[in-house]
Structure 1
Amino acid sequence: MSSESALTIKLKLNNGIEAPAIALGTANPSESRPKVKETVKAAVKGGYRHIDTAWFYGTEEYIGEALAELFAEGVVKREDLFITTKVWPSNWNNPSRSIDESLKRLGLDYVDLVLQHWPLTFKADADGKPIIKDGNSVLDEDGDYLVTWKKLIELYKKDNKKIRSIGVSNYTIKYLERLLKETDVVPVVNQVELHPSLPQVDLVKFGKSKGIITEAYSPLGSGGAPLLKLPIVETLAKKYDVSGADVLVNYHVKSGRFVAPRSTNIERVTRGFKSVPLTADDLKSLDQEGIDHPHRYINPGFAKSVGYDNWGEEKPFK
C-alpha cells in the first residue's frame, strides 16, 4: 500500500482559503499541558502544518513558545502554518478580548481560524473567566449564543488580517439553521465530536449542503483510544496494512472532512499518518458502526441543554 503522508492533504474553505485536513489537537489534561511545547515542535518537524487550540485547553502559551523557536530555527515561516483557536462561552459577549489574549499567548499577529467553541453563554468574572458551581460553568440565562457569532462576523469584516476565517464548534443542525437564517456569513467549519461510533451523518450532510466543512475532534474516541479496538477498524487496518489510527484519521480525510487527533507522544506525532485509499464501501461500513451502535464520549453537564443526539452519562469537562 501507499506510504504517502496524509498530512499533505488540503481542503478548501468556503472563503477560498486552503487548510491542511489534519490538525494537531492540543486539548490535554492539565498534567500533560507542559508537554505540548515539545509535541508541537516535533509535529511541525514531522510534517504537521495545522494546529488546533483554544483558550480552554490551557496550551496556547506552550504553543506560542514552540512556534517562536520553530520560526527562529527556520523550520517554518508563519505563513506555512494554519492555526485555529476558539472563543469560550464565558467570553460570549466579548470575543474580541478572547482573540487578543489568544494572539498574545500564541505570539502571533493573526490566527487563520477562530471558532465559537460552544453555542452557549456562561456567566463570567471581570476577566472573562467562567464562574464555576458544582464543577461546571454557570449558564447565563440572559445571554444569546448567536451574539458571539454576530460579533465574530463584525471582527472578521473589520479586520480579517487578524482573523482570516471564522467558524463554529459543537453546533447541531437546529443551531446552524438559526445562524444561517439570522446572519450573512456562513461558517467555514463546524467542529464536532465525530468518529465511527458517532458518525453524525445528517449533520455532516447538512453542513456540506451549506458549504460548511465538518471537522472531527476525538477521532479515536477519548482517553485510551477505544475506537482502535472496533472490529471494523481492525479489519480495515489489516486490509490496507496500516495502523488503526491511520484508518480512523483517513475516515475523515477521505470523506472531505478536517480531523484533529491529539497526542503528546513525540514518536506518534513524528510518525504522522499514512494516506489510506479507503473505498466508498469502507466509509459506509465505518458510518454503519455508529448508526447501529452510537456512542458519544464528550458529555459535559453544561452542554446538555443544547440537545445533542446520543447523549450519554454526563461527565465533568476537564
Structure 2
Amino acid sequence: MRSYQAMLNNGETLPIIGMGTYSGENDRETTEKAIRTAIKMGYRHFDTAKIYGSELALGNALRRAIHDGLIEREDIHVTSKLWSSDHHDPVSALQQTLQRLGMEYIDMYLVHWPVALKAWVDYPVPAEEDFEELDMENTWSGMERCLEMGLCKSIGVSNFSSRKIEELIDFACVTPVVNQVEMHPMWRQRKLRSICGDYGIHVSAYSPLGGPGNAWGTTAVVDHPIIQSIAHKHNATPAQVALRWGLSQGSSVIVKSFNPRRMKENIGALDLTLDDWDLFEIEKMEERKIMRAEYLINDTTSPYKTIEELWDDEI
C-alpha cells in the first residue's frame, strides 16, 4: 500500500484518507468488523469521538489487529474529540477516551465544537438548559496540557470558522494542527482554507460526500450532474470524484462507510487524477452548507443567537 500522508505544522503526519467510525445504530461487533476490513484495505487513519460511541469498538479492533500482526501501532493514526460537556477538564476527558480505547496515547485530539455544555450532556443535540458559558482560552489551555502530558501527539479543532480560528490564535501557545470541517464540492470552504493556510493549519474534510446516510446528509453531491459527468469521463465513481476533489485542495478526507464495496471504492480515489477542466467545472457548482447545527442556536443560553454567529457568516 502506497503511503499518502499530509505533513502537519508540528512535524507529525496524517494519512489523507481516514475512516469515520460513528457507529449510529450499529452494534460493537459490526463496527469492529468494518474497522478490521478497513485495515486490510489499507486505511490507516481512524476518526472517532466520545459522542460517536465507537471508541471502545475502535480500540478493540486496533488492538486485535496489532496483536495479529496486521499493523504496528506507529503505522496507524487515531483521532478523537473533546465533547462539549468536557470543556472544563480536557485532560480527564482524554484519559477516559484512552481508557475506552485501551491505548497509552492518541495521535490527535480535537475540540469537537466551539460550544460548552453541562457535564451530564452525553447526547449530540442539547436542550436550551444544557449550555454553559464558553471559555475557549481555558479549554485550549487544557488541550495544551494533554499535549504536554503525552496523552496525544497533536491537538486541533473541529467546526471552527475563520474568525474563531483567528481568535484562538490570539491566545494559543500551541497552534492547532488541524481544523476538521464540512467540506465537499458543494461546500468548498475557500475562505476558511485560505485563513487556515496562513497559520499552517491543515483542513480535514468531514462529510466529503455530503453525508449521505446521515439524518442530516444528502446525496446532492454525488448525484450532481457535474460530478456524474466527470466520473463518467474518468471511468470512476461519483464518490471517487468528490473525494479526489477534496484531496486535490490539499485537504484530507474522513469518509464513513461500513460497506466493504464502498470502503474499497472510497480508498480507490487515491488512484484517480482530476484535470484542470474537471476542477474548473466543479467551481461552477452551487454551494450549500448541509451540516448547519441549528440546534446550537438559542436566544438565552447559547453563545450563538443566530446561525450567522455560529459560523461567523460562513454559511
Q: State the secondary structure of the residue aligned to 2:165.
A: helix
Q: Which residue of 2 aligns with 1:285?
A: 281
- Is there any run of 5+ residues in structure 1 with no aligned partner, and where? 312-318
Amino acid at match of 1:230: H
Return closer, same or farther for 1:131/1:26 CA change in 2, 3 Å cut-off. closer
Deviation, structure 1 residue 116: 0.5
2:228 is the alignment partner of 1:234: yes
Amino acid at match of 2:56: E
Tell me which of 200, 208, 216 is aligned to 2:205.
216
Deviation, structure 1 residue 17: 1.1
Tell me which of 20, 45, 49 is aligned to 2:44.
49
Return closer, same or farther for 1:284/1:120 CA change in 2, 3 Å cut-off. farther
Amino acid at match of 2:310: G
For structure 1, which segment, 247-256 or 163-172, has the greater mean C-alpha deviation from structure 2 after superposition? 247-256
% identity of equivalent residues: 31
Q: Which residue of 1 aligns with 2:300?
A: none
Q: State the secondary structure of the residue aligned to 1:8.
A: coil
Amino acid at match of 2:278: D
Question: Distance in 2 between the 1:34 and 1:55 partners?
Answer: 18
Return closer, same or farther for 1:96/1:249 CA change in 2, 3 Å cut-off. same
Q: Check whether the contact 2:51–2:124 (CA below 8 A) recurs between aligned residues.
A: no
Deviation, structure 1 residue 233: 0.8
Q: Which residue of 1 aligns with 2:54?
A: 59
Return closer, same or farther for 1:204/1:129 CA change in 2, 3 Å cut-off. same
2:7 is the alignment partner of 1:12: yes
Q: State the secondary structure of the residue aligned to 1:171.
A: coil
Q: Check whether the contact 1:53–1:59 (CA below 8 A) recurs between aligned residues.
A: yes
Pairwise CA RMSD of aligned residues? 2.1
Deviation, structure 1 residue 280: 3.8
Q: Which residue of 2 aligns with 1:99?
A: 94
Q: State the secondary structure of the residue aligned to 2:17.
A: coil
User: Deviations 1:67-114 (Å, cap 9, x if unpaired)?
Assistant: 121011100011110110000110001111111111111111110100
TM-score (norm 2): 0.87
Q: State the secondary structure of the residue aligned to 2:153.
A: coil
Q: State the secondary structure of the residue aligned to 1:220.
A: coil
Return closer, same or farther for 1:154/1:288 CA change in 2, 3 Å cut-off. farther
Amino acid at match of 1:256: G
Question: Distance in 1 between the 2:258 and 2:201 partners?
Answer: 29
Amino acid at match of 1:76: I
Tell me which of 146, 149, 156 is aligned to 1:159.
149
Q: Check whether the contact 1:122–1:139 (CA below 8 A) recurs between aligned residues.
A: yes
Deviation, structure 1 residue 33: 5.7
Question: Distance in 2 between the 1:34 and 1:277 partners?
Answer: 36
Count of matched residue positions in the alignment of Structure 1 and Structure 2: 297
Return closer, same or farther for 1:122/1:287 CA change in 2, 3 Å cut-off. farther
Q: Check whether the contact 1:139–1:302 (CA below 8 A) recurs between aligned residues.
A: no
Deviation, structure 1 residue 138: 1.7
Q: Which residue of 1 aligns with 2:301?
A: none
Question: Distance in 1 between the 2:118 and 2:188 partners?
Answer: 32
Q: Check whether the contact 2:126–2:295 (CA below 8 A) recurs between aligned residues.
A: no
- Is there any run of 5+ residues in structure 2 with no aligned partner, and where? 298-303
For structure 1, which segment, 252-261 or 32-41, has the greater mean C-alpha deviation from structure 2 after superposition? 32-41
Question: Distance in 1 between the 2:183 and 2:27 partners?
Answer: 23
Return closer, same or farther for 1:285/1:148 CA change in 2, 3 Å cut-off. farther
Amino acid at match of 1:16: G
Deviation, structure 1 residue 139: 1.3
Return closer, same or farther for 1:235/1:8 CA change in 2, 3 Å cut-off. farther
Q: Check whether the contact 1:294–1:310 (CA below 8 A) recurs between aligned residues.
A: no
Q: Which residue of 2 aligns with 1:268?
A: 262
Return closer, same or farther for 1:232/1:187 CA change in 2, 3 Å cut-off. same
Q: Check whether the contact 1:119–1:146 (CA below 8 A) recurs between aligned residues.
A: no
Return closer, same or farther for 1:55/1:22 CA change in 2, 3 Å cut-off. same
Question: Distance in 2 between the 1:237 and 1:145 partners?
Answer: 42
Deviation, structure 1 residue 155: 2.3
Q: Check whether the contact 1:138–1:302 (CA below 8 A) recurs between aligned residues.
A: no
Question: Distance in 2 between the 1:146 and 1:30 partners?
Answer: 35
Question: Distance in 2 between the 1:132 and 1:11 partners?
Answer: 32
Deviation, structure 1 residue 185: 1.4
Amino acid at match of 1:288: K
